[in-house]
A = this chain, B = another copy of it.
Amino acid sequence: MQRVTAHDESRWQELGGGQRRQVRSYDEHLMLVEVNFDDGAVGALHSHPHTQISYVLSGSFSYEIEGTTYELNPGDSIVVEGGRTHGCACKSAGTLLDIFTPAREDFLSH
C-alpha cells in the first residue's frame, strides 16, 4: 500500500513511445496512476481484466473502446469495463489519471 502521494517530476517511469507513468496511491483493491503523453503518442490497443476509469487532467485524447472512439478533453472521464479492448491517441500533450480495480500488480514489478 502507498497511502499519501504527491506528483513528483523525478518519479516518471519512461515507457517509450512518448509515454511515461507514475504510480500514485494504491492498496490491493484500487490504484491511481498518472500517465503522461507527448503530442502524437499512441497507447496501443490492449485489454486487462481490471475495470479502469481514465480522467483527463490535461491535453486531449482520442480514446477507443471496442471500435468506438471518444474525443476527450480536460475534465472528461471514461470507464472501461474489464476485458474490453481499448487504447488512445494523444492529440495534444497531457496527462491522464488512470484508476484501476483491482490494483495493477504488474505496474509494481518494474
Which residues on A are within 8 Å of B, measured CB to CB? 1-7, 24-27, 29-30, 32, 51-53, 55, 65, 70, 72-73, 75-79, 81-82, 97, 99, 101-102
Contact = CB atoms under 8 A, between A and B. Distances in A.
A79 B1 contact: yes
B99 A5 contact: no
- Which 3 A-B residue pairings sit nearest by Cβ, starting from the closest? A101-B101, A29-B51, A25-B79
Contact of A75 (B7, B55, B75, B99): B7
A52 B26 CA distance: 9
B97 A4 contact: no
Contact of A29 (B3, B78, B82, B97): B82
